[in-house]
Structure 1
Amino acid sequence: MRARILGSAAGGGFPQWNCRCETCEAARTGTAARPRTQSSLAIRGAVGPWFLANAAPDLRQQLEPLAAEPANGVRAAPVAGILLTDAEIDHTAGLLLMRESSTAIRAYGSDAVRRALTDGYPVLPMLARYCGVDWRRLDPGDSLVIDGSSLEVESFAVGGDAPRYLAGAGADVEASGFVFHDRSTGGVLTYLPGLARLDDDVLGRLAASDVALVDGTFWRDDELVRLGISERTARQMGHVPLSGPGGTLEAFSRLERPRVILVHVNNTNPVLLERSPQREAVLRAGAEVAYDGLEVEL
């Protein structure tokens, strides 16, 4: 199995276009932090083509390294399908950039995500007028073998609220995590760009993984509140913070098996500063901070 982190930042990217926080300014000057695009992953098994996990608004530039690989045909797509963990705009807007596809886009996701992308944010009806969509249902608790690949994927619920564009609509859309198992090599990779709860089920899946790509959105629960950016805490936004009691770093310190890499890191998170005490704390907990282009093979 081979995985390439196409984008490692949360929604808005890093630096965010309208943000002047310390970390964004450091990225702009290039002195202490490297820029990052919005969260997306490319993955392939020992057998078969590349697939995407989420489609970020930065997808065109993210796909260029994959497009440089040998392919058959002038309009050969570098990926064979997209798996969606949720219906958030920063994980689905890239679907619209794939409208030039010569074949229907193969997409995997829960029925709740399909409804959100049909009624609330009508990406799927729009694509139907261009290339079409071949939707494959993958609800939490489901497991399926991806056609043409040695990968088997299992979806599981990780909590969180429906996207804000569905506010007041009574929609029940929570985020999913994916466990990828390569049936040829036995490698196991878990992808969790959004994580609203750290229960025994989630911890068990992490402990059974070789590599775990885990939500690292916020350092503190009150990170945005302290900066005067929002009145909502990290947990209220559907993200377990890294630090503090019950935070993910505390949980990571008890895990022995997986290589843990933080993804979906918000532009305000000081772990993005390469020589910060928060980055040191991440390393002491046995984890890493992802960057665009990082590849792992297992």
Structure 2
Amino acid sequence: MKIVKIKEKPVPIKSDIRNAYIDFSKMTASVIAIITDVFKNGERVIGYGFHSNGRYAPSGLLHERFIPRLLQADPTEILNDDGSNFDPHRIWDILMTGEKPGGHGERSVAVGTIDMAVWDAVAKIEEKPLYQLLADRYRNGEVDEKVFVYAAGGYYSPNKDLSKLQEEMQRYLDQGYSVVKMKIGGDFLEEDLRRIEAVLDVVPDGQSLAVDANGRFDLETAITYAEKLEPYNLFWYEEAGDPLDFELQANLPNIIKTQWQQEKTSFLCKMHATL
């Protein structure tokens, strides 16, 4: 059992949508195919992986470091103990050989894309849905009957007025989502509040709406937004500041908690910063 080839292709997104920091007109994403020598039901097992559309395709990292490491590894080193399948954890260790701790950056995107494709191949070899394979390995076979998901959208876009924003959110509700998320921080505060209120006219209540600033704000702006958002009782307020702004991440929840500790704790419990 071995990996015979790994293919990667950068795929252009070419969208005019934008968040508080970037637009997606030149954004790309990597798609990975791990081709094995295993056949199931007459078809070759191929594992596929891709990554978030908020990161550019890490093609250079993949072709210069991670794909060659995996292909050059001893085939026995990437298998599980009985040789019946690939071992994602051993493969991860091989991918990270020679990598310095810290400095993950775009490296995590490249390695994570391969990791997704590996797990896809492993599940196909065992002829199980991946969720069941993971449950069997790590949860004694217990599978959650329901998993919370939400619809992420509400991007800024040319000619996207409030009515079109409302139509977008209504489509998500019609598809069965109970929570939707929209972008903030890419316009003036007053305009963002108008956008939020327009969406609130469509969704059942504030608990059906989350907002995402994509790390745009400094501490003062993040607090100002939080104060304005609080009356809406939103589901959450995401990534208010740069994840590497440790001062903001440490102080923002405490500052707001001090200001609102008497009567506004419910909103605080939902506020978080994505790291």
- Which TM-score band (shorter chain)? 0.3 to 0.5
TM-score normalized with structure 1 length: 0.31
User: By percentage of residues, which structure has more strand?
Assistant: 1
User: By percentage of residues, which structure has more helix?
Assistant: 2
Q: Could you say which structure has the greater relative contact order, defined with CA pairs below 8 angstroms and 6 or more residues apart? A: 1
TM-score normalized with structure 2 length: 0.33
Q: Tell me which structure has the larger Cα radius of gyration.
A: 2
